[in-house]
A = this chain, B = another copy of it.
């Protein structure tokens, strides 16, 4: 449904967190990524060849992915010439922004004139229902976090892959624009009409009795005042038996909110359990997942040990330790 191979947009973004959708595709769908499109003076890179739209088309690309975050999810003026040039060169445009591509007249008119597709991953899906909270069969894991952008998607994908590698059947269920682009399906939960948050989560992980774990990507944080409503509705709708807490130990304050402290892991676990129990009375945590990439190996190991001592839970760093400690706990607590 989303035409690859891709040219990934970075543009003038300087903060690695602002290109996380492009980076997610470059990481998890590397074979489908032809190159990256960035301003000449931008040192941020995905490790892909820097290309113009014309060069990408010559190399086989079929779409330009605007895999960046902007203020309020709006199209920025600096992006427009690049989008128009990509349309001219023959690419479809894929966007994870809130503002739909067709709302910009220059883009809409050029795409119509050239017969190109404009694909908004964040377009609210039709036909959603209000959630009910009624108990449903199935095995569900939800990743939650102390903040947004702390590794919930990475943890979910690595956990689903590692479960399958261990012979425990699992599938990744995407709830963000990056995850949906990687998986090719899912629902961008922060883009649904507010009344349907929990209902969308229920529809994303419907009743199943085949023993397969749905590993559901979490969003935001109950402690992030911008997005906690989304996090709570997703938590209630996902109805998880098992939870994994994700945390970025290098975060000085809540993302983009210097006035808001990052909560302690134990407090965040307690709050998520209290909230989860409304629809999943026996919900429990099976581990903590951190991103220790800004720490040296010894400091990261010490940090993981301290988190385990504080919470009584295995603490992993997916890219360093793998997921086995969390999977061992899951298997012990939830036998096949």
Verify A195–B225 contact, CB threshold 8 A: no
List residues of chain B with CB within 8 A of the CB of A237.
Answer: 225
Q: A242 within 8 Å of B by Cβ? A: no
Does A135 lie at the interface of the complex (its beta carbon under 8 Å from any beta carbon of B)?
yes
**Which residue from chain B places its CB closest to the CB of A72 in the assembled complex?**
B129
Q: Across the two chains, which residue of chain B brings its CB closest to A223?
A: B278
Quick one: CB contact mask for A68-102 with B, threshold 8 Å, 1 for yes?
Answer: 00001100000000000000000000000010000
A302 vs B321: C-alpha distance when bound (angstroms): 61
**Of the residues B197, B225, B226, contact of A229 by C-beta under 8 Å:** B197
Min CB gap A198→B, angstroms? 6
**CA distance in complex: A68, B134 (Å):** 25
What are the residues of chain B within 8 A of A228 when measuring CB–CB? 198, 232-233, 236, 275, 278
Q: Check: A192 CB closer than 8 A to any chain B CB.
A: yes
B230:A225 contact, CB within 8 angstroms: no
Q: Quick check: is A124 within 8 A (CB to CB) of the other chain?
A: yes
Residues of A near any B CB (own CB < 8 A): 72-73, 98, 124, 129-135, 189-195, 197-199, 222-223, 225-234, 236-237, 256-257, 259-260, 271, 274-275, 278-279
User: Could you list 13 examples of A-B contacts with CB < 8 Å?
Assistant: A72-B130, A98-B195, A131-B226, A132-B225, A133-B225, A133-B260, A189-B194, A191-B193, A194-B197, A194-B229, A199-B226, A225-B237, A228-B278
